[in-house]
């Protein structure tokens, strides 16, 4: 077994290693609006749910050259965001939206996806995504230069054909996951194990 002390790694090496170890990761494709009204879109794979009733999700957003990323600043200032699920047909647009654009650029346009008005919050969701969550900021916890952003889901949008008995069918959804480097994955075989009683 190799032993690697993360304290001995520089930032790029530490990032490269860590994102190859915690896999597969779901991708939150997040939309926000700046206080000036520009639409922002970016993917985040440090993403998960931490509570379901009430539904709370988390994304971890870092800084770039010492500056908070636009998503972090927008959520801090406007307290609202949407999380959209990425499927096969949306991978290229999602990757495009991870590019560095000045804050005033409409990233829906850059990525070639359609903003669809949300119901309870200002940032629009992505029309092409089969599952979207409207979120309101619950809390930001700063940890080691990153923002752990906790959002409360105030509305789910789910394409009707995906639902079966209160759940989204993973084989119909076919979400895309992030791996290490620039690798991604679809779902492999889906199997079932009953939980112990």
Ligand X SMILES: Cc1cc2nc3c(=O)[nH]c(=O)nc-3n(C[C@H](O)[C@H](O)[C@H](O)COP(=O)(O)O)c2cc1C
Fill in the per-residue mask, 89 to 118: x = in contact with ligand X (CB under 6 A), - = not in contact.
Answer: ------x--x-x------------------
Contacts of 2 (CB under 8 A, 6+ apart): none
Q: Report the DSSP beta bridge partners of residue 175.
A: 87
Residue 43 makes contact with ligand X by CB under 6 A? yes
Q: Is 106 helix (H, G, I), strand (E, B) or coil?
A: coil
The residue behind tokens 């001995």 is: 8
Q: Which stretch binds ligand X (CB under 6 A): 56-64, 119-127, 137-145, 157-165?
A: 56-64
Burial of 75 (0-12, 13-18, 19+ CB in 10 A): buried
Q: Which stretch binds ligand X (CB under 6 A): 5-13, 36-44, 49-57, 117-125?
A: 36-44
Contact between residue 84 and residue 31 where contact means Cβ atoms under 8 Å apart: yes
CB of 90 or CB of 121, closer to ligand X? 90
Phi-psi region of 175 (alpha: psi -120 to 50; beta: other; left: phi over 0): beta
Fill in the per-residue mask, 16 to 35: x = in contact with ligand X (CB under 6 A), - = not in contact.
Answer: -----------x--------
Among residues 26, 39, 46, 85, the one that binds ligand X under rule CB under 6 A = 46
Q: Is 31 helix (H, G, I), strand (E, B) or coil?
A: strand
CB of 161 or CB of 182, closer to ligand X? 182
CA dihedral 157, 159, 164, 169 (to 10 degrees): -100
Q: Is 127 helix (H, G, I), strand (E, B) or coil?
A: coil
Q: Which stretch binds ligand X (CB under 6 A): 57-65, 76-84, 135-143, 154-162?
A: 57-65
CB of 42 or CB of 93, closer to ligand X? 42
CB of 2 or CB of 144, closer to ligand X? 144
Footprint of ligand X (CB under 6 A): 27, 40, 42-46, 60-62, 69-71, 95, 98, 100, 178
């Amino acid at each position: 077994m190799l032993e690697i002390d993360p304290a001995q790694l520089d930032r790029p090496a530490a990032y490269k290693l860590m994102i190859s170890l915690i896999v597969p990761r779901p991708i939150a494709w997040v939309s926000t609006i700046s206080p000036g009204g520009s639409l922002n879109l970016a993917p985040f794979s440090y993403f998960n749910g931490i509570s379901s009733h009430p539904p709370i999700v988390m994304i971890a957003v870092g800084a770039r050259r010492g500056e908070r990323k636009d998503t972090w600043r927008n959520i801090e200032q406007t307290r609202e965001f949407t999380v959209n699920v990425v499927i096969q047909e949306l991978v290229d647009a999602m990757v495009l939206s991870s590019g560095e654009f000045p804050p005033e650029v409409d990233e829906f346009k850059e990525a070639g996806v359609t903003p669809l008005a949300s119901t309870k919050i200002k940032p629009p969701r992505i029309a092409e995504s089969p599952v979207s969550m409207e979120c309101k900021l619950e809390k930001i916890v700063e940890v080691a230069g990153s923002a752990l952003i906790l959002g409360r889901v105030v509305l789910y949008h789910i394409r009707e054909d995906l639902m079966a008995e209160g759940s989204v069918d993973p084989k119909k959804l076919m979400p895309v996951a992030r791996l290490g480097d620039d690798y991604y994955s679809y779902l492999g075989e889906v199997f079932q194990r009953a939980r112990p009683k």
